[in-house]
Amino acid sequence: MSNVVWFLTGNQGKLVEAERHLSQIGYSVKQLIVDLELIYEPQADDLITVAKSKINQALNVIPDDFNDGDMILVEDAGLFVDALHGFPGVYSSFVHSTIGNAGILRLLSHLNSADPVSSANLRSAHFKAVAALWKNGKIILGEGICPGHISLEAMEGNGFGYDPIFIPYDLDTELNPLTPGDYGEFSTHGKTFGGVGSEIKQKFSHRTKALIDLFNQLPSAS
């Protein structure tokens, strides 16, 4: 039985994270690099459909050293803002490249309150990630969610994408998210993902949760 997982990603951070989790249960990770023009973003309403589409597209461009029993991994994520009816959602990448974080802040500029808890509720949002693994003709799915709210202004620094405008809710000792106004064991102390280091961000990461959910469904390859 092969223990090789080909990860379709151009993000080295994602690759390292997957290697860290999969190596613990005996799997080896290789980066699947393809011409971006060969992988299109499907027009779909949910991340699972997008991830499955990318899996099927990847199967058409597998490398010559792809062996029987090898697996393919893809991961897709988006920001869902409640006041915008889930926008930008599956179109997060495109929206960020067009209107950017400043555009999202403008769309929410009328939603504010002097009370921090009320403001957080008015501007509630969540990151969601879906990890999909193709194995022997079947697709295994993992999901991860990070709830929080959109900040009043961008906080540049670390991270990428929507990190500068997203503040996650605190987490309890078991990494479960709390509600606005509740203080937990892990907190960014009102800072966005763009204002904290990668170590604390990993505690909240929707991508990490999706990968763990997926990998918990895999048998050990050791």
Question: What are the CA-CA distances from residue 48 to residues 76, 78, 141 (Å)?
Answer: 8, 11, 8
The answer to whether residues 188 and 163 touch, using CB atoms and an 8 Å cutoff, is no
Of these residues, 70, 76, 163, 170, which one is catalytic?
76
Residue pair 124/193 in contact by the 8 Å Cβ criterion: no
Residues 76, 80, 85, 88: what is their CA dihedral angle, to the nearest 10 degrees? -60
Amino acid at 181: G
Q: Computed over its alpha carbons, how large is the radius of gyration of the chain?
A: 18
Token pair 């937990």 is found at 184
76 a catalytic residue? yes
Residue 128, strand partner residues: 78, 145
DSSP 92-152: HHHHHHHTHHHHHHHHTTT---SSHHHHHHHTEEEEEEEEEEEETTEEEEEEEEEEEEE-S
Q: Which residue type, as a one-letter code, is found at position 117?
A: V
Question: Which residues are known to be catalytic?
Answer: 76
